[in-house]
Amino acid sequence: MSFTVSIKDIIDILLTAVILFYFYKVMRQTRSVRVFSGVLIFITSWIVISKILEMRLLGSLLDQLINVGAIALIVLFQDEIRHFFYNLGAHHRMGRLVRLIKGERSKSEYRHQLEEIYPIVMACLNMSKQKMGALIVVQNDLPLGDFIDTGEKIDAHVSQRLIENIFFKNSPLHDGAMIVKDGRIMAAACIMPTSHDPDIPKEFGLRHRAAKGTSNETDAISIVVSEETGHITAAYRSKFKMHVTSEELEEMLMKGGF
């Protein structure tokens, strides 16, 4: 028996490997990697028994399980599948496409953007000095309406004093995230997705995990001020940037990422 491998077969294998690896990364973040590994083992066994060894009886049984299992997998991994397509749509090239459709911003718009960013930077610096814990999520291209609905609606212009009052320790809104959109504070005390990634440093608390979870699902910039150390950390596209300075914070907010 001779096997011929064409370029089409190589491309097919590479694409399948990339998709499986991407799914593995998503599962790893949600602690479902063992279930995912079990599914891969089952599918591999089905291919060997049914397609390669051509064992008809056992193969037909596994065929039926595969048909029913497809629906079971959708139910079992519904959150992971949603995250997969969410991240696919949130790819940085999609963001570039959106910005291309919207058009380039003028100099006056950049100055206006800087005026909106300055209060956030100054508030973070002041809260850092006072070791006042905070989580600020700045929306980019992808809407955060679902998360805004979980908090208390504010819809006020961004100001340093308002931000600091929201995260003041005795404030009823200091827990949760504050979401900023187009220079306005849309809501506070918002519930954000929490990451269970084991690679997150142990010294990071719930705010940092919420920032990482938000960066996994959206293209927003999440800014965390540590209540223990006062250090400023930013999360974007599933990555952390620690010990952020005022200049770095201003630059990433202007660019919409890092």
Q: Which of 25-39, 60-74, 240-254 has the lowest mean pLDDT?
A: 25-39
User: Which sign does the torsion angle of CA 25, 29, 177, 217 carry?
Assistant: positive
Q: Is the pLDDT of residue 1 over 70?
A: no
Say if 127 falls within a structural domain. Answer: yes
163 with 201, same domain: the answer is yes
Which among 29, 58, 89 is the end of a domain?
A: 89
Q: How far is CA 196 from the centre of its chain?
A: 12
229 with 190, same domain: the answer is yes
Say if 179 falls within a structural domain. Answer: yes
Say if 162 falls within a structural domain. Answer: yes
pTM, to two decimals? 0.65
Which among 89, 115, 148 is the end of a domain?
A: 89
pLDDT in tens, 159-211: 999 999 999 988 889 889 999 998 899 999 999 999 888 778 888 999 999 99
Name residue 225's beta-bridge partners.
134, 232
Indicate the helix (H) or strand (E) that contains 257.
Answer: none
Domain that holds residue 164: 107-255
166 with 230, same domain: the answer is yes
Residue reference for tokens 């905070």: 134
Mean confidence (pLDDT) of the chain? 81
173 with 132, same domain: the answer is yes
62 with 131, same domain: the answer is no
Say if 34 falls within a structural domain. Answer: yes
Say if 80 falls within a structural domain. Answer: yes
Q: Is the Cβ–Cβ distance between 231 and 221 less than 8 Å?
A: no
81 with 117, same domain: the answer is no
pLDDT in tens, 102-135: 555 555 555 556 678 999 999 999 999 999 999 9
22 with 148, same domain: the answer is no
What are the helix (H) ranges across 47-106?
56-76, 78-89, 92-102
Say if 170 falls within a structural domain. Answer: yes
48 DSSP assignment = I
37 with 70, same domain: the answer is yes
Say if 102 falls within a structural domain. Answer: no
Residue from 244, 251, 238, 241 nearest 92 by CA: 238
Which among 34, 62, 89 is the end of a domain?
A: 89
73 with 116, same domain: the answer is no
The dihedrals phi and psi of 228, each to the nearest 5 degrees, come to -85, -45
Choice between 115 and 32, residue whose per-residue pLDDT is larger: 115
Say if 95 falls within a structural domain. Answer: no
Q: How many domains does the chain have?
A: 2
157 with 227, same domain: the answer is yes
128 with 228, same domain: the answer is yes
178 with 246, same domain: the answer is yes
Q: What is the CATH number of the domain that holds 209?
A: 3.40.1700.10
